[in-house]
Amino acid sequence: MHVDSRDIAVIGGGAAGLMAALFAARSGASTVLLEGSRAPGLKILISGGGRCNVLPSESSAGDFHTSGSRKILEKIFRTWPLEQVTAFFEEELGVRLVIEKETGKVFPRSQKAREVRDALVQAVSEAGGTILCPFRVDGVERAGEGFGLRSADGQRLEANRVILAAGGQSVPKTGSDGHGYALAGAFGHSIVPTYPALVPLTSPDGALKDLAGISLPVRWRARTGGKVREERTRELLFTHRGFSGPAILDASHWVVRDGARIEVAWNGLDRTEWQERFAGGGRREVLSVVAELLPRRLAQTLVARVPGVAELPLAHFDRRRRELLLDALCDFELPVGGNEGFRVAEVTGGGVPLSELDPKCLESRKAPGLFLCGEILDVVGRIGGYNFLWAWVTGRLAGQWAGQGQQGRGKASSQEG
């Protein structure tokens, strides 16, 4: 039986895989991208509500979480700074970008995710790469100095080098079902336990779920062991099942992974600002004062947590009850019962540790000739284009070095262990 042979096989046709295939093909290496779904880039197409938040407008390593070394993370991002990635999309792919002023997110000017996906697919083709789909890789094994790949339906292919860009487990309907972890594990890689990240949280609190549809800025804090782990101000959205919005999606990995408590200050107001509102006494009722700064339904729900306060005149608002209300306004612990899971999570936390790769080229320290990139690695970014940035940067890095062939392999192999 004839077995097709290529220099480079890229497993996974998402954001990282498409970028890896593009830069591998541009190096002159014969490159094939293998995607198990009906088409490449399905997650790109549904991102940003179909608009594709392709990049953030600014970024630092602090916008990402990994259980590994932050220095490695910083080193990887230095290989392709954000301004250069932005220029690549506009000048090389012809995708004009626009910054959404309210959020700082970067979208294609067309507001169509398909433009981003199609530009990448076209660029891979123009560089001489081939995209095969559906081709779900069922197994990868050593074949001489290279690799043998087989599909679930019996197709076989050989490649000198392999780039594993099979994604994580989030939104499995797009083909991101975690299969890549088994492929990495077969070559001796360990897996930091995976979890849904950038995921809505559920709540058992019926009164709060009745506030579904209300959205407002909050100053949120993730706290474990009495220590604040992260603190930011973003929008929170009440849902029929609990909480969502940028604030919750950003905070969710602390809850899901570490069991953190999430405390919020509604509208980002601190105790001093509320104290000034309550000062001076008078006949005005407590509820009316709170409702001036918060949506009325939320104000009613929060004030109701301190019995007998709602219709109380400020003149009779004693210190004990005031402190209890300030706790609800500035240090409110969200009652979290769970999360919506991988079905709706935007990304996967956990994955292959960065320490098991050569950070210069993302070649495996366990299996020379194998490169890894994208969501399969133990890195998760905030909401707002950060995880796409990780995919673009790591995809390019893996593709470039895999395309350099034996030179890249030799450098990585010499650093094993």
Question: Does residue 134 have a cis bond before it (omega within 30 degrees)?
Answer: yes
Q: Which residue is listed with tokens 């199609």?
A: 118
CATH class label, 4-196+348-413: alpha beta
What is the Cα–Cα distance from 9 to 147, expressed in whole angstroms?
A: 9
What is the Cα–Cα distance from 85 to 116, expressed in whole angstroms?
A: 13
What type of residue sits at position 323?
Answer: E
Task: Give every strand in the sheet of 105-108, ordered side by side.
Answer: 55-56, 105-108, 97-100
Domain map of the chain by residue range? Answer: 4-196+348-413, 201-339
Taking the CB of residue 295, how many other CB atoms lie within 10 A of it? 17
Find the DSSP H helices in 269-413: 271-278, 286-291, 296-303, 319-330, 386-403, 406-413
Please indicate, yes or no, whether the overall pTM of this predicted structure exceeds 0.75: yes
What is the Cα–Cα distance from 328 to 332, expressed in whole angstroms?
A: 5
For 93-129, b where at least 16 C-beta lie within 10 A, e where not — what string?
A: bebebeeeeebebbbbeeebbebbbbbbbebbeebeb
What is the Cα–Cα distance from 388 to 211, expressed in whole angstroms?
A: 32
Q: What is the pLDDT along the chain (417 residues), one digit of tens a residue?
A: 345 899 999 999 999 999 999 999 999 999 999 999 999 999 999 999 999 999 999 999 999 999 999 999 999 999 999 999 999 999 999 999 999 998 999 999 999 999 999 999 999 999 999 999 999 999 999 998 899 999 988 889 999 999 999 988 887 777 778 899 999 999 999 999 999 999 999 999 999 999 999 999 999 999 999 999 999 999 999 999 999 999 999 999 999 999 999 999 999 999 999 999 998 778 899 999 999 999 999 999 999 999 999 899 999 999 999 999 999 999 999 999 999 999 999 999 999 999 999 999 999 999 999 999 999 999 999 999 999 999 999 999 999 999 986 334 433 333 332
What is the Cα–Cα distance from 198 to 349, expressed in whole angstroms?
A: 9
Q: Diameter of the chain by CA atoms?
A: 90
Give the 3-state secondary structure of residue 109. Answer: coil
Q: Kindly state the tokens that stand for 335.
A: 């009652």
Which of 197, 294, 322 minimizes the C-alpha distance to 254?
Answer: 197
Taking the CB of residue 316, how many other CB atoms lie within 10 A of it? 12
What is the Cα–Cα distance from 198 to 208, expressed in whole angstroms?
A: 21
